[in-house]
Amino acid sequence: MAEMLFPSDGSLTSYKDRDGARLIGGVTPLDRTAWFLVAEAEYDRAFAPAIAITNQIFIVDVCIILLFSVLAYKILAQISITDGLTKLHNHRYFQGHLTREIEPVSRTRAPLSWTSAISRCSMIHTGMPRVTRSSAVWRPS
């Protein structure tokens, strides 16, 4: 047994035995006798279940934080391209769509009218083309 005095209140104490092994133990007096109940265990074995549960809780907490981060990102991305009052797409959304429509035309050097760009944007958004009249044509240089 380890050579040390245990606290008299029955609390647990961490200590090292003669061989240097880390132990945890406690002592409690048995009622109306001169006997004491002494219990000790290796420190790592005594706390292994608690450490395992703590690690699992930590992993679950990290997963929950990541999930909320992804949800917050999706919500903020949607808010940034829609009007808060009307819930319609805003100017930032239109600019992004127009840029994506002009890029392929710039590579192929084909003319693009604003009507075709807008109708392509509306077709992507609504699934139906809007037919309007326009004479503005943009030719890449």
Sequence length of the chain is 141
Instruction: Produce one character per residue of 59-81: b if its CB has 16 or more CB atoms within 10 Å, e if not.
Output: eeeeeeeeeeeeeeeeeeeeeee
At position 125, the amino acid (one-letter code) is H
pTM given for the model? 0.42
Q: pLDDT tens digits for 75-116?
A: 999 998 888 888 888 888 888 887 887 787 777 777 766 655
**Domain coordinates in residue numbering, the chain:** 13-46, 91-138
Distances (CA, A) of 92 to 42, 65, 68, 106, 129: 63, 29, 25, 21, 21
Q: pLDDT tens digits for 60-76?
A: 999 999 999 999 999 99
